[in-house]
Amino acid sequence: MTIRVQTEDFDLSREVAALRADSPQVGAVVTFVGTVRDVNDGASVAEMELEHYPGMTEKALQDIVEQAKARWDIYDALVIHRVGPLLPKDQIVLVAVTSAHRGEAFDACEFIIDYLKTQAPFWKKEQTPQGARWVDARVTDDEALAKWDMPSGSGR
């Protein structure tokens, strides 16, 4: 399991190659890449700043990957999340999961990103023509979490 919080960009091909390099038993790799959109809630977004809680962020991501490993028969998982200033089209997050068969990897990958969006301490601040604003949490993110029978919000 690998967790990285970094300002630098990442290369999907290279990360996936490294993840399965020593694992001939892998038959499926599922990846999710989140990117910066140039429009959010009706305003154009020129730039974004991602803040996080150093220390807690890594623990929270580790915890979710461990939960995914306990719940699904997967071999390995990788989470990379960028912080600092980002521009539209930039990559923000990568989740990659390996397993013997696709079903487990698809579910575990979706679970990890759903959990991350509501439980890992990251916050986005957007620069718009109307000024800077903190992005509001989405109700749909909590709804996405509900399908995994996970309590959202404070506590777990």
Partner 1 sequence: MNIQLRFFASVREALGVSQETVAVPAHVATVGDVRAFLRERGGKWAEVLAEGKSLRMAYDQQMTDAATPVREGGEVAFFPPVTGG
> Which residues lie near partner 1 (CB under 8 A)?
34, 50-53, 55-56, 59-60, 81, 92-93, 113, 116-125, 134-138, 153-156
- Dig out the tokens for 34 from the structure: 């989140």
Angle subtended by helix axes 139-146 and 102-119, to nearest 10: 140
For residues 71 and 156, which CB has a smaller minimum distance to partner 1 in the complex?
156
CB 36 within 8 A of CB 92: yes
For residues 22 and 136, which CB has a smaller minimum distance to partner 1 in the complex?
136
SS3 114: helix
For residues 101 and 151, which CB has a smaller minimum distance to partner 1 in the complex?
151
Q: Which residues contact 27 (CB under 8 A, 6 or more apart)?
A: 99, 100, 101, 102
Minimum CB–partner distance for residue 100 and partner 1 (Å)? 27
Minimum CB–partner distance for residue 112 and partner 1 (Å)? 10
Which residue, chain included where needed, has tokens 């020129």? 46
Minimum CB–partner distance for residue 57 and partner 1 (Å)? 8
Dihedrals φ, ψ of 92, to 5°? -105, -50
Minimum CB–partner distance for residue 104 and partner 1 (Å)? 21
